[in-house]
């Protein structure tokens, strides 16, 4: 097909005239293609998918029942816009019950989002002018930075490394960058490193933001999924509400990725600005979904059960990987296990394969062992294993991990 003038119209931010013409294949597409090829080559072998970034189970019956009831009520049928007071009130109660954050005003300090991703795509419009800087962490979830760049902003990346317990070194940011910086985006528990923040780190970040006049965007999509101790919100730091907005989500904590609901909370001016742009972006989430989720937030024990399942799977996976020399350490939360990638592998027949990157390792694991992971090469070579693999019950979980052990038998990984 010859190009119509439409091709000439595309904005530079998505590639301009060359939009859709690049032959470069990005990480997740490479993984998808390798999976397809491996399954075609071995149609009778199960692919063990440790690459998925979402829960393996559906929402609990109480949520589904509530949705079914609410969907039948005529008063829930229309545009929600920025409304839905039930969900905001339930969110305020959940913040107090789960994180000990008291006194959030559901009318001015909380507003729903059509998932954290939507909020991360809206918030840059409220803060970023051309030339402004946003400070982010790598490896990480890039949505805020992508949109910031689309508004003419720049992203300054801080590396998350083992030496810093995967917490960014805020003091390493040059003064010239800080002068132009407007926002600091944090994500704990972190995707992909699985690392958790500490109250001390959050207190330091709040102080740093105040000193350098930054807004903190705390992406807390995994915040309630912790294995030991209490979940942590940046808003539990005294004074955090002066500088921070936090993003919560139903997706991971309640097995509700497809439902598309979350909320932003914290600094009322940031919440108001988010509401302004949101109102010009979407028409709100279906009130039946909001009300079903409000009912769900009344049951934090759902998240505790989900977290216990991931914790159990993590123990199995960590033990399995350690047997083969991986330096795997169980994280304190999330469902991600982030481990240094091997440099090479030797098999029982004496074949030796060297790897230049985590991406090489990930491709080899899919092609040779039908095990899918996500590689990260942004700050060292690491593999991300997600414990959201498909398994029905504990015996099946042990079977899956046992299968990984079988496929690794005789291999010698070199690090």
**What residues make contact with ligand PLP under the rule CB under 6 A?**
53, 115-117, 141, 187, 191, 219, 221, 249, 251, 257, 262
Question: Which residue in the block uniquely carries the two structure tokens 């108001």?
Answer: 272
Q: Which is nearer to ligand PLP, 262 or 275 (CB)?
A: 262
- Shortest CB 278 distance to ligand PLP, Å: 14
Q: Which is nearer to ligand PLP, 123 or 273 (CB)?
A: 123
Q: Which is nearer to ligand PLP, 249 or 303 (CB)?
A: 249
Q: Which residues contact 299 (CB under 8 A, 6 or more apart)?
A: 60, 62
Residue 354's Cβ-count burial label (10 Å; 0-12, 13-18, 19+) is exposed
Put residue 196 in one of left, alpha, beta given phi > 0 → left and psi -120 to 50 → alpha: beta
Alpha carbon of residue 244 to chain centroid: 19
| CA–CA dist 341, 242 (Å, integer) | 41
| CA–CA dist 37, 39 (Å, integer) | 5
- Shortest CB 240 distance to ligand PLP, Å: 19
- Shortest CB 376 distance to ligand PLP, Å: 13
In 189-266, the DSSP E strands lie at: 215-219, 244-249, 262-266
- Shortest CB 297 distance to ligand PLP, Å: 14
- Please identify the residue of the shown chain whose CB is closest to the bound ligand PLP: 115
Give per-residue burial for 73-111: e unless 16+ CB within 10 Å, then b.
eeebeeebebebebbbebbbebbeebbebeebebeebbb
Q: Which is nearer to ligand PLP, 204 or 257 (CB)?
A: 257
- The total of other beta-carbon atoms located within 10 Å of residue 374's CB is 24
DSSP strand pairing (181-187 vs 215-219): parallel
- Shortest CB 22 distance to ligand PLP, Å: 24
Question: Which residue in the block uniquely carries the two structure tokens 């149609």?
Answer: 43
Backbone angles phi, psi at 216, to 5 degrees: -95, 130
- Shortest CB 194 distance to ligand PLP, Å: 11
Q: Which is nearer to ligand PLP, 117 or 278 (CB)?
A: 117
- Shortest CB 267 distance to ligand PLP, Å: 19
| CA–CA dist 61, 244 (Å, integer) | 34
Q: Which of 59, 78, 75, 119 is nearest to 297 (CA)?
A: 59
Q: Which is nearer to ligand PLP, 112 or 369 (CB)?
A: 112
Q: Which is nearer to ligand PLP, 38 or 245 (CB)?
A: 245
- Shortest CB 53 distance to ligand PLP, Å: 5
Q: Which is nearer to ligand PLP, 232 or 320 (CB)?
A: 232
């Amino acid at each position: 097909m010859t190009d119509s003038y439409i091709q000439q119209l595309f904005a530079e931010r998505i590639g301009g005239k060359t939009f859709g013409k690049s032959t470069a294949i990005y990480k997740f597409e490479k993984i998808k293609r390798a999976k397809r090829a491996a399954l075609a080559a071995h149609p009778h072998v199960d692919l063990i998918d440790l690459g998925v970034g979402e829960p393996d189970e559906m929402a609990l019956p109480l949520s589904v029942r509530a949705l079914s009831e609410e969907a039948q009520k005529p008063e829930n049928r229309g545009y929600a816009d920025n409304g839905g007071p039930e969900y905001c009130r339930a969110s305020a109660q959940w913040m107090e019950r789960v994180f000990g954050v008291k006194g959030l005003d559901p009318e001015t300090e909380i507003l729903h989002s059509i998932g954290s991703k939507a909020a991360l795509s809206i918030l840059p419009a409220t803060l970023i002018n051309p030339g402004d800087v946003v400070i982010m962490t790598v490896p990480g979830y890039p949505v805020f930075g992508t949109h910031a760049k689309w508004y003419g902003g720049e992203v300054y990346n801080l590396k998350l490394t083992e030496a810093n317990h995967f917490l960014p070194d805020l003091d390493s940011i040059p003064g010239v960058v800080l002068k132009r910086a407007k926002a600091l985006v944090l994500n704990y528990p972190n995707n992909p490193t699985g690392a958790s923040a500490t109250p001390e780190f959050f207190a330091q970040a709040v102080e740093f933001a105040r000193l350098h006049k930054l807004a903190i965007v705390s992406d807390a999509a995994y915040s309630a999924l912790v294995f030991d101790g209490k979940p942590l919100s940046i808003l539990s730091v005294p004074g955090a509400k002066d500088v921070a907005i936090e993003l919560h989500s139903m997706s991971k904590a309640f097995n509700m990725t497809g439902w598309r609901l979350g909320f932003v909370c914290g600094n009322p001016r940031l919440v108001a600005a988010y509401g302004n742009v949101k109102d010009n972006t979407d028409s709100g989430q279906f009130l039946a979904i909001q009300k079903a989720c409000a009912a769900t937030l009344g049951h934090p024990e759902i998240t505790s059960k989900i977290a216990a399942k991931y914790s159990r799977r993590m123990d199995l996976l960590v033990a399995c990987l350690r047997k083969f020399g991986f330096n795997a350490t169980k994280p304190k939360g999330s469902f991600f296990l982030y481990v240094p990638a091997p440099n090479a592998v030797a098999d029982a027949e004496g074949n030796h394969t060297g790897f230049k990157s985590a991406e090489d390792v990930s491709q080899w694991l899919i092609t040779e062992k039908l095990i899918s992971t996500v590689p990260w090469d942004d700050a060292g070579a690491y593999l991300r294993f997600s414990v959201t693999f498909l398994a029905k019950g504990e015996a099946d979980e042990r079977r899956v991990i046992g299968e990984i052990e079988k496929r690794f038998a005789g291999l010698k990984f070199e690090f």
